[in-house]
Structure 1
């Protein structure tokens, strides 16, 4: 697939590296063209996939199958408005956590989430919440505590979620069906807890959430009639 990544920070770098190893065509753009080119120079030639720098966010968004907003929440909401028409009908992956300045709370109201707010700003796109509980150092490794890294996916579009899951799985990670987009609220609260634990235990962000089932997990999940 052709995957566009908006952002050039640690998460953009880690996700790009994963997708390149998964054999995908990755296009990146940052706040400046220099940042995009620097990421290409760093990651180019590292896998069966490829990476190129896109001249503008519009060009990246219009030419890619899936677009990842690998930016801070405030930037992601602005970009969602700017690219609302360009991204109409496309799958948009939101990784943002709406942390406050001290990283001990969320700036979103209790009855919404970053994922839902981004979807509200681009009603024609299909937003999938993903990667927000998976820190960059964890993504950089092939395994997490001896097992494959889990990536939780939440979306109101089952098709978009399935496409994002295929992308995750092809990159050597395990997709976990986290249900509807409103469950981004829980995922973002979970990320807040993980940040708390990093400081308390000195984990250096080399830890993450992991489901330990007693049987293989299907994707999508088999939802009970009583759920």
Structure 2
């Protein structure tokens, strides 16, 4: 199954690199066709998969999984424009709805970018992923020889599991972050990470790591946890 990455900016480039590393066939789309072609040519030799530039509508039509690797305002527009093509497919939202001064979010109270994307593609299976990773670290796949954690939030456990497997194939570590509503927390965490990396002049060479060390992706059932706590 092909995977479409819509957006050939820093994050789109990094995600496409991880996908090619994992042996997947990638369709890379961007409003700037020359940019998509240039990025595709750059990352094609980096893994066992393939990558080629394609128009966004063609990529969304062909692919079974579509990654919206664009800024929040662009992602909401693209999601609405491609809604019919995305029906029944897995849609991965990576966006963070930062305001212009990076001290707040632009989403409505009680919502998130992940949930706003889901509203625009009601027939799709939306997974929040990659929003807590910075592009330079994601492109490299490790930081100080430590694999990168990718937190996944979705109301569709099957879709989340599928994305987790793809993440793992790209030599990253998937972490089940629960329901799609948890995107609200993930996006606020990233807002803090952006401030911290700037405060310590890290040039985006930073990442969020969940400890303790060895964690396998699993679907968390809160009812079982509650039963264990009360039983």
Provide the TM-score with structure 1 as the length reference. 0.95
- Report the counterpart of residue 31 of structure 1 in structure 2: 31
Unaligned runs of 5+ in 2: none
CA drift at 1:43 = 1.6
- Report the counterpart of residue 193 of structure 2 in structure 1: 194
- Report the counterpart of residue 101 of structure 1 in structure 2: 100
Is the helix fraction higher in 1 or 2? 2
Equivalent residue of 1:155, what SS? coil
CA drift at 1:215 = 5.3
The answer on 1:60 being equivalent to 2:59 is yes
Equivalent residue of 2:111, what SS? coil
Alpha-carbon distance in structure 2 between the residues aligned to 1:47 and 1:172: 11
Alpha-carbon distance in structure 2 between the residues aligned to 1:143 and 1:222: 30
Runs of 4+ deviating beyond 3 Å: 214-218, 221-224
Tell me the C-alpha RMSD between the 2 structures: 1.5
Distance 1:24 1:215, change over 3 A: closer
CA drift at 1:109 = 2.3
- Report the counterpart of residue 51 of structure 2 in structure 1: 51
Alpha-carbon distance in structure 2 between the residues aligned to 1:35 and 1:17: 15
Cα deviation per residue 1:76-99 (whole Å; 9 max; x = unaligned)? 000011011000000000000000
Cα deviation per residue 1:144-170 (whole Å; 9 max; x = unaligned)? 244221000000100110110011000
* Count of matched residue positions in the alignment of Structure 1 and Structure 2: 226
CA drift at 1:218 = 4.1
Equivalent residue of 1:175, what SS? strand
Equivalent residue of 2:3, what SS? strand
CA drift at 1:31 = 0.7
The answer on 1:83 being equivalent to 2:92 is no
CA drift at 1:199 = 1.2
Equivalent residue of 2:98, what SS? coil
CA drift at 1:208 = 1.1
- Report the counterpart of residue 21 of structure 2 in structure 1: 21
Structure 1 segment 102-181 matched on structure 2, within 5 A: 102-181=101-180
Asked if 2 retains the 8 angstrom alpha-carbon contact of 1:175 and 1:219, the reply is no
Provide the TM-score with structure 2 as the length reference. 0.93
**Bigger Cα displacement from structure 2, 100-109 vs 215-224:** 215-224
CA drift at 1:42 = 1.6
